[in-house]
Chain A
Amino acid sequence: MTSASLVALIVIAVWTGTVVTWCRRHPWGDAGRRFFRYPSATAGMVILVFLATVALCAPLVTPYPPYQQILTLQDHPPTWLHPLGTDFIGRDVWSRLVYGARVSLGAGTLGMLLAVTLGALVGAAAGYFRGWTDALLMRAVDVGLSIPRILLVLCAIALWGTLGVGALIVLLGLTGWFATSRIVRAEVMSVRERPYTDAVRALGARPWWIILRHVLPNTAAALIVSAALGIGNMMLLEAGVSFLGAGIQPPHPSWGNMIADGRDQLGTAPWTTLFPGLAIALAVMALNATGDALRDALDPKARGV
């Protein structure tokens, strides 16, 4: 840790406080009041804003490049210069953790965006058109939900050779939409029976116009909640796959492959394993807490699980 990166961290902390305070004071209406009623929602938001900013400003808060090896300092315990220690080839764990946040948070978010988009389209088509479309799509979803997802992802990775980050995100998205599509389908089935949908149909609108402009926006609450709660799972899956050596490839840091790197030094240098795991736990916990509060705020019918 150098004084420059420490200053940068303090600035980010102040920025986080400002953003969250502004959000709390902003008049969001009823939903906002319900959301901020939970202390865990505020805490989750603080963690998420902080992590995201740190990840974006990675070069400012890391004293060393994530790939730089300091050969005289292998498996060195935490010190002031290396606040989280160094790993088995002398790389600064803190720096790798910060750059790894870009990969882990980014892959989780982008993968979930793709998954939610796919799930919304498939669910809407199934719920709106019903009949054969519905039967076919929902049976496909049944098949997708019947295979343990990690096997699906591992299979694709192993067979198509090692994938880049982009391809991994696409893969996470392609295997992650099944549950969302079921939720959306149920919502769409009820929305399509409402009078305003009939009215638009009577005006001669085409099915996909109705779906995109009138039906899906009314399932937004379910979609947002499903996305917020799904990012955590997506990140855990990415970490698991990278841990098994099939996801993000070394030397690029991701929280999952950092844990794998530290595994052989578990007894002698536990910090190389402990900190990336804590980072995942912290991020996923914040996401789940925020997601829980979002669900209670946006969907008062569904009482918190």
Chain B
Amino acid sequence: MRAWLLRRIAAGIAIVFATVSLSFVAIHLAPGRPFLPADERPMNPAVLARLQRMYGLDQPIPVQYVRYLAALARGEMGESFSQRRPVAQAIADAVPNTLLLATSALAIDFTLGILIGLLQAARARRRSDVALGNVTLFFYSLPIFWLALVLQLVFGLRLGWFPIGGVNDPALYASLPFLGQLADRLHHLVLPALTLGIVGAGGTARFQRASLLEALGQEYVRTARAKGLAEPAVLIRHAWRDALLPVIALSGVALPFLLTGAVLIESVFAWPGLGKLAADAIGARDYPLVLGTTLLATSAVVLGSLVADVLTAVADPRVRLTA
């Protein structure tokens, strides 16, 4: 187990390193440079040269690469061009927002998804299963940003139940008491988390239904039924416990999905998280910030799949983690 873990961690670090190196080469090889004003106003060449010298952009690419790696080894991710502050700070501001959004969405995703999958498998191939199957297929096939806009339209603009953007109310937030602040943040969280969660739940439900149906076809389920156990007990205690394993494995894959969704959802809801930060950084050709967010996103994905593997091994005694 320990040898396996060490190997996986080493492989994970190698993947993150390769990703960062590739991104570094790619963005420096690409045509176009930072600091060029978008509106075609000529920039004073002396100012441009000074800016490029200041950020070390006048050096050859291999030198810049080694410098970047050396700084990274010291735990520094450089200074963001567009935000005029350390990348680490910009990321540190964004991470809690994305974490809040992603964990709430994940909770909605798995609760709804597992529950619907369970309901479907319990009445497999009956009318309610087919109906729910069509519903989950619909949500699974939706463009997530479009669902976000529809929820904004219905619950924000028409009904006025929820705010349609931001993490809190910019005018009131500071003057609210602690509980009021908490409520305000939750109020702002509802629509983005629901959007991300519902679309994810469509996929989770389809997956849970399939793995449950497979478990229900096993011999031990027949044995349980032959013992005269009630159907709910067979379904929950015998089949579901086994069918949960693939869903645990799925949670590792859910992370890239959530991050991808976060890029779109955060820009629709003006949610200052990692996805929006990355998209903005790419648009602004902010090299250090692009690399920093890539580094973080890749690490998160690698860590997610590692955790999912460990959880699977913990939950399933048949799985042995050997190097």
Contact B149 A263 (CB under 8 A): yes
Task: Count residues of A near B (Cβ-Cβ below 8 Å).
Answer: 44
Contacts of B297 in A (CB 8 A): 147-148, 151
Is the CB–CB distance between A303 and B141 below 8 Å? no
Q: Does B137 contact A (CB under 8 A)?
A: yes
Q: Which residue of A148, A154, A161 contacts B31 across the interface (Cβ within 8 Å)?
A: A161
Kindly provide the distance from the CB of B276 to the nearest chain A CB, expressed in whole angstroms: 10
Among A10-18, A23-31, A67-75, A267-275, the one that faces the other chain is A267-275
**Counting CB contacts under 8 A, is B236 at the interface?**
no
Q: Which residues of A (164-220) have their CB < 8 Å from a CB of B?
A: none
Is there contact, CB below 8 Å, between A285 and B26?
no
Say if the beta carbon of A155 comes within 8 Å of chain B.
Answer: yes
For the complex, count residues of B whose C-beta is within 8 A of A: 52
Is A256's CB under 8 angstroms from B137's CB?
no
- Interface members, chain B 123-141 (any A CB < 8 Å): 134, 137-138, 140-141
Q: A289 an interface residue at 8 Å Cβ cutoff?
A: yes
B88 at the interface (CB under 8 A from A): no
**Residue of chain A at shortest CB distance from B299:** A146
Beyond A151-B278, A155-B290, whether A259 also contacts B301 by CB under 8 A is no
Cβ-defined contact, A240 with B27, below 8 A: no
Q: Is A119 in the interface zone, CB < 8 Å from B?
A: no
Query: B294 touching A147 by the CB < 8 A rule?
Result: yes
- Asked whether, in the complex, the Cβ of B32 is within 8 Å of the Cβ of A267, the reply is no
Q: Which of B19, B134, B263 contacts A150 (CB 8 A)?
A: B263
Task: Indicate if the CB atoms of B149 and A159 lie closer than 8 Å.
Answer: no
Report B-chain residues with C-beta under 8 Å of the C-beta of A232: 141
CA distance A172 to B264 in the complex (A): 17
- Beyond A148-B259, A161-B32, A244-B264, whether A256 also contacts B22 by CB under 8 A is no
Contacts of A270 on B, CB cut-off 8 Å? 153
Q: Are B134 and A281 in contact (CB under 8 A)?
A: no
Question: In the complex the two chains form, is A277's CB within 8 Å of B150's CB?
Answer: yes
- Tell me the smallest distance from the CB of A135 to a CB of chain B, in Å: 11
Interface check B302, CB cutoff 8 A: yes
Check A159–B19 contact: CB distance below 8 A.
Answer: no
Main DSSP-derived SS at the B contact region: helix
Assess A146 versus B15: contact at CB under 8 Å? Given A158-B283, A266-B152: yes
Chain A interface, DSSP helix/strand/loop, else mixed:
helix
- Among the interface residues A146, A155, A273, which one has the most CB atoms of the partner chain B within 10 A? A146
**What residues on A are CB-neighbors of B26 within 8 Å?**
155-156, 159
Map CB proximity to A onto B284-317 as digits: 1 under 8 Å, 0 otherwise: 0100001001100110011000000000000000
Does B31 lie within 8 Å of A305, measured CB to CB?
Answer: no
* A243/B145 in contact, CB under 8 A: yes
In the bound complex, do residue A288 and residue B282 qualify as a contact, i.e. CB atoms below 8 Å apart? no
10 nearest A-B pairs in the assembled complex, by CB-CB distance: A277-B146, A159-B30, A284-B141, A285-B141, A305-B210, A148-B259, A158-B282, A148-B260, A267-B157, A146-B301
Q: Which residues of A contact B (CB under 8 A)?
A: 40, 139, 142-143, 145-151, 154-156, 158-161, 232, 236, 239-240, 243-244, 256, 259, 263, 266-267, 270, 273-274, 276-277, 280-281, 284-285, 287-289, 303-305
23 intermolecular pairs with C-beta atoms under 8 Å apart: A40-B134, A139-B15, A147-B297, A148-B260, A149-B256, A151-B263, A151-B279, A155-B23, A155-B282, A155-B290, A156-B26, A158-B285, A159-B27, A239-B145, A239-B146, A244-B263, A259-B149, A281-B141, A285-B138, A285-B141, A287-B141, A303-B214, A305-B207
A146-B302, A244-B263, A244-B264 are known contacts; what are 6 more A-B pairs with Cβ within 8 Å? A142-B15, A145-B256, A148-B301, A151-B260, A154-B263, A154-B279
